[in-house]
Structure 1
Amino acid sequence: MNVLAVVFKSLVTGVRTINRKYATPQIEMTLFVKVCLLTLRLYLFLLVGLMAYKFIVSLK
């Protein structure tokens, strides 16, 4: 059991190191890119909402 805890702790430390490294973006985004990403995010939420609606309606 002790070996498992050591391996798990090692993996957690590795993930935390990677998260610290990439915590801040390293590139600058233009306003156009930010707007495009926001539009894609809203479109994704719309699609997920439609799929959830279709699922709920199909249950009835």
Structure 2
Amino acid sequence: MDALSIIAALGGLSETARKAGAPVSTVQYWQDKGRIPAWREAQIREALVADGLDPAAYLAPKEAA
């Protein structure tokens, strides 16, 4: 997941942290690394939907096994 575009879409570090239920320092770490851990996808998806955004535009599609 591209952290920079998701954080920007959700309104910045503090807003992303609030919406994802994560500490600001954690979201800042995602920003610094440029990615969000896959295990946080459900929280990010919920935050995007709650903001009226299409998660498909921000989250990579799952690959078939």
Normalization by structure 2: what TM-score? Answer: 0.22
Structure with more helix by fraction: 1
Q: Which structure has the bigger radius of gyration?
A: 1
Q: Which one has more relative contact order, counting CA pairs under 8 Å at least 6 apart?
A: 2
